[in-house]
Amino acid sequence: MQEVTEQDFNEVVLASDIPVVVDFWAEWCGPCRLVHPELEKIAIEYDGKVKVVKLNIDDAPSVAAKYGIMSIPTIGLFIDGDVKAQVVGARPKDDIVMGLGLNS
Candidates 29, 39, 42, 87; catalytic one: 29
Residue 103 has pLDDT above 90, yes or no: no
22 included as an active-site residue: no
Contacts of 20 (CB under 8 A, 6+ apart): 12, 13, 50, 51, 52, 53, 77, 78, 79
Q: Can you tell me the mean pLDDT for 14-19?
A: 97
CATH H superfamily, domain 2-98 = Glutaredoxin (3.40.30.10)
**Catalytic site includes residue 32:** yes
pLDDT-derived band of residue 16, with 50, 70 and 90 as boundaries? very high
What is residue 104's predicted lDDT score, i.e. its pLDDT? 66
In the set 4, 12, 20, 32, the catalytic residue is 32
Q: What is the pLDDT of residue 45?
A: 96
Nearest-angstrom CA–CA distance, 1 and 71: 21
pTM, whole model, 2 decimals?
0.96
Domain ranges of the chain: 2-98
